[in-house]
Homo-oligomer: A and B are copies of this chain.
Amino acid sequence: MPANRNLSDDDDAVRRRPGRPAGDDGGGDVRERLLDTATRLAIERGFDAAGIREIAERAGVSSGMIAYYFGGRRGLQEAMFDRALDRLRARVAEAVTRVGSPGDPIEALMRLHASALTADPWIPQLLAREVLPREGSLRDRFQQHAGEVLDLIRRAVEEAIERGVLRSDLDPAMCVLTLGSLSAFPFLIAPVLGDRLEIALDEGFGERLLAHNLELIGRGLRAREEDLR
């Protein structure tokens, strides 16, 4: 271990050397690594809080790669957001085909919601952080994606009303809003007020929330005569 070899010897083992890399690239595609890192950071602290140098360093990549693959910081943000929405849509689409026609459409819908959000609890967080604060391309993208899902829910609610499963004296639009509120808001507020509300985003939470919401939708919260035996 000669003392005169201390210059950039350790660095070469960690940092990628310039030039086209050898084919046996260990950590997967650079583009994909950047998207993963950006998503993780956006969930942790919001995309705005992360600079390109931090994103690149965490991805084990040079900062120039962001402009190289995405045209710039903004492009990376949009690509990350699109990928997240696509995954969400794919999961919803898959769940919809699985649900089929037998059984209660409303219960199926709530189960769908719950399973999608339990699998990726960060989705509401990401949407709240990136969509609520700004107008512009991200909001437009979200509105398009969400529109399709909303139409789906809307149809399920209207069908349920026609079939006599849901009350016909209530506004369908309000029912859609209610179903969304009950499913999404808990995942938003849990990281902030979870301790005080005595709830935690553990693996059982989705099930408990689903059961509670189905009870609420089914019978309401109020005590009834038939409950008092």
Interface residues of A (CB under 8 A from B): 45-46, 48-49, 106, 125, 128-129, 131-135, 139, 142-143, 146-147, 150, 164-171, 173-178, 180-182, 184-186, 188-189, 191-193, 196-199, 208-209, 212-213, 215-223, 227-228
Contact = CB atoms under 8 A, between A and B. Distances in A.
Contact of A181 (B147, B167, B181): B181
B199 A173 contact: yes
Given A133-B46, A176-B197, A216-B216, A192 B223 contact: no
A178 B212 contact: yes
A101 to B, nearest CB: 19
A145 to B, nearest CB: 11
A164 B223 contact: yes
B228 A164 contact: yes
A174 B217 contact: no
